[in-house]
Amino acid sequence: MEEQEIHLRDYLKIIYKRRYTVYTFFTIVFIVVLIGTLSTTPIYKASTKVLIEKVEPANLTLPYPYYAPYEPEFYETQYQLIKSTSVALKVVKALSLENMYEIYFKGEKINPRGNKTKADVLADIISSGIVVTPVKNSKIVTISFMSTNPEFAALVANSVAKAYIEEILDMRMSSSRYSIEWMSKKAEEEKAKLEKSEKALQEFMKANDIVTLQDRLALTPEKLSEFNTQLIRAEMKRKELEGLYSKVSSINIKDAETIPYIASDPTIQALRNQKLKAEQNIEELSKKYGSKHPAMLKAQEELKVIDLKREQEIKRVIASIKNEYELARNNENTLRRTLAGTKSEAISMNEKFIQYNTLAREVETNRQLYDALIKKLKEESVTQQVQTVNVWVVERAEKPDSPVKPRKSLNILLGIIVGLFGGVGLAFFFEYLDNTVKTPEDVEARIGVPVIGAVPLLEEKGEHIEEIILKEPQSVHSESYKSIRTGILLASATKPPQNILITSMAPEEGKTATSVNLSLTIARSGYSVVLVDSDLRKPRLHQIFRLNNMSGLSTYLAGATPDIDTILKTPLMNLTVIPAGPLPPNPSELLGSQRMTKLIETLNERFDLAIWDSPPLMTVTDGLILSNLVDGTIIVVRAGKTTYDIIKRGLKLIDGRRKTDTTSNVLGIVINGFDVKNADQYYYKYYNYYPSEKEEPKKTI
């Protein structure tokens, strides 16, 4: 199902429905606020304004004046100091409140508790009543005191400002004396540390020749860089010769000249040229002489000599390559050892120099700390009488004319706002928790089953809803059942269902009343109706129609009453009632028997419509058995009682028991006990409209 959009009118409906919740909450809150406001003792507030300015002591070494930066912590510290117990005790002492308190508060007595004296209790009272408020974008601070006595409030506010100034002076004097004593002692300690560190540095410099070490430390990085460069070159040359030597060491002498390094040797090039000339000479002589001619033999001998020399030269070049490779390798190893030794020397020198720097820093730190202490000690001795905080009273407190608490108008306004919005919020909260059936629209939107009618709540006490059709045929309740009747008769385009089961999810939801009134309404329309009390556990139809219940549905299904006519009762025209009969031990087995099927067929032949009143679905299985035998099922729910969850579970049980097809036979839902007054205005107007007497439509054959 698609989620429906929520409109403003939906919220208004909730508020209207829960209006009594809103009224109640609003009334309670407003009365509580009103009583609290009127019963609160008036509190008066007196305020004095002081200027607080931080002043740094004059620095004798600076050629220009010093301006203290803005420090939020400084002002917060002053605020806490103003509200401190020490300032409050000064106020108690200055005003002699231990003896004068009862003059301002007649009848009130101070009872010290524990180790506290009367002065301590009075100081706690004053400290808790002081309020410090800084004036924005200024150094002015408002010191306020609240009390039920306006004269006492003004007196304390002025006294707090004066006591605060005295407290600052006392703190400054005590602090200066303590600072001078502490710095004098600390300076002696730092002097001893400085002398000790200077001695340790001097001994280290002598032991490690620190001057020579500095020169070597400066040259070592250059040597490391140079050795590293030479090593890289030697490594490259060694790799080059290693590759060349690897090639020539395994090559055939005949193919040696394929290697460019060998082929480029001047001697081998000369021998190669001589060989070419000798071969050319042999070729020319072969044209003139035979192979045994002395000139040919001499030329061939010269060629052999050249080949022998070429082979010897190639071996010589290979041997020189090997020698160069070994020399390059030895050179690389030598440079590598030299570089490693230089690195070790550099590391050793760095460690010594680091130790030297550490000792030097310690000496410098001790010297700076010692100099700072001596300097500060001299400044403190000169400036100990200078005040670091300046306080001036800018505006004295006056006796207040009107109280600051309670603020009656504001409290009443807040009570109205809180009561109104709190009541609305509570209404929405109750609505959120309420998961019961409310209106037909809600049921159809959340369940997906049509609502064929809603019966209003019966307001008059002592009146029975089962008799409403007979006693008040033109009432709004009767019209509701007529509307349900119309919905059933128009449920199908061909013909209305012949067998209709009336059930509910739980007891006391109005299924029996619906069965009775619906049967009466249809019978008065001219249809022949049989009303069957199939609730074989707690039957009620025989009581409503005042019938004999010695025989009925149970005796017929059990075979004790073979003739169906003996169980048919006709209390009204066109209406026949079959009572439940004596309570059987096995109701479910009887309702699911073959005799039950035959009874339905017989009733269909003799009556236009059969209405079956069954037990609740969620208590026993009787209703589920009957729902599989009838043409349609009507579910009766109780507004404000039946939850949507139980309806969904019941519908799932009905659909799960269907054997003939997968289509649900639920014709619709009837909402019983519908509260018209708390519903929408539309329903209120609709259900308060009484139609004139009209003739019931007659059945047409």
The CATH number of the domain where 621 resides is what?
3.40.50.300
State pTM to two decimals.
0.50
Give per-residue pLDDT as tens, 234-282: 778 777 777 666 667 666 666 666 677 666 778 777 777 777 887 787 7
Q: What is the mean pLDDT of residues 584-594?
A: 92
Least confident of 140-144, 579-583, 686-690: 686-690
Give per-residue pLDDT as tens, 183-220: 777 777 777 777 787 787 777 767 766 555 555 555 56
| 360 and 220 part of one domain | yes
Residue 695: its pLDDT value, please?
38
- For residue 371, tell me if it sits in a domain: yes
Q: Is the pLDDT assigned to residue 43 strictly greater than 60?
A: yes
Q: Which residue is associated with the tokens 């005949």?
A: 254
Residue 211: its pLDDT value, please?
54
Per-residue HEC secondary structure of 130-151 comes to EEEEECCCCCEEEEEEEECCHH
498's CB contacts (< 8 A; 6+ apart) are 604, 608, 609, 610, 631
Give the pairing of strands 666-674 and 451-456: parallel
| 505 and 370 part of one domain | no
| 278 and 413 part of one domain | no
| 339 and 411 part of one domain | no
Give per-residue pLDDT as tens, 500-527: 999 999 998 889 999 999 999 999 888 9
Q: Which residue is associated with the tokens 């400084």?
A: 74
- The rounded distance, in Å, linking the Cα atoms of 132 and 150 is 18
Least confident of 142-146, 216-220, 455-459: 216-220
| 224 and 296 part of one domain | yes
Q: How far apart are the first and last CA of the chain?
A: 41
The kind and range of the H/E element at 632 are: strand 632-638
Residue 531: its pLDDT value, please?
95
| 321 and 428 part of one domain | no
The C-alpha R_g of the chain, in whole angstroms, comes to 58
Between 41 and 222, the more confident residue is 41
| 377 and 314 part of one domain | yes
Closest CA to 679 of 457, 448, 453: 457
Give per-residue pLDDT as tens, 145-179: 988 888 888 999 999 999 998 888 887 777 666 66
- The rounded distance, in Å, linking the Cα atoms of 275 and 280 is 8
- For residue 443, tell me if it sits in a domain: no
| 367 and 415 part of one domain | no
Q: What is the mean pLDDT of residues 307-317?
A: 76
Q: What is the mean pLDDT of residues 649-653?
A: 90
Q: How confident is the model at residue 420 (pLDDT cuts 50, 70, 90)?
A: very high
Q: Is the pLDDT assigned to residue 679 strictly greater than 80?
A: no
Highest mean pLDDT range out of 248-252, 305-309, 607-611? Answer: 607-611
Q: What is the mean pLDDT of residues 81-96?
A: 90
Q: Is the pLDDT assigned to residue 28 strictly greater than 90?
A: yes
Highest mean pLDDT range out of 119-123, 295-299, 348-352, 465-469? Answer: 119-123
- For residue 361, tell me if it sits in a domain: yes
Other CB atoms closer than 10 Å to residue 283's CB: what's the count?
A: 10
The kind and range of the H/E element at 666 are: strand 666-674
- For residue 101, tell me if it sits in a domain: no
Q: Mean pLDDT over all residues of the chain?
A: 80
- For residue 414, tell me if it sits in a domain: yes
Domains contained in the chain, number: 3
Q: What is the mean pLDDT of residues 468-484?
A: 81
| 421 and 304 part of one domain | no
Q: Mark residue 668 as left, alpha or beta (left: phi above 0; alpha: psi -120 to 50; beta: remaining).
A: left
| 300 and 421 part of one domain | no
Structural domain of 23: 8-40+406-433
| 420 and 532 part of one domain | no
Q: Is the pLDDT assigned to residue 677 strictly greater than 60?
A: yes
| 429 and 508 part of one domain | no
Rounded to 5 degrees, φ, ψ at 653 are: -65, -40
Contact 211, 352 (CB under 8 A): no
Residue 463: its pLDDT value, please?
61
- For residue 246, tell me if it sits in a domain: yes
Give per-residue pLDDT as tens, 362-416: 778 877 877 777 777 666 565 555 446 788 898 999 988 888 888 888 888 998 9
- For residue 216, tell me if it sits in a domain: yes
- For residue 331, tell me if it sits in a domain: yes
Residue 216: its pLDDT value, please?
55
Q: Which of 433, 448, 473 is where one domain is finished?
A: 433
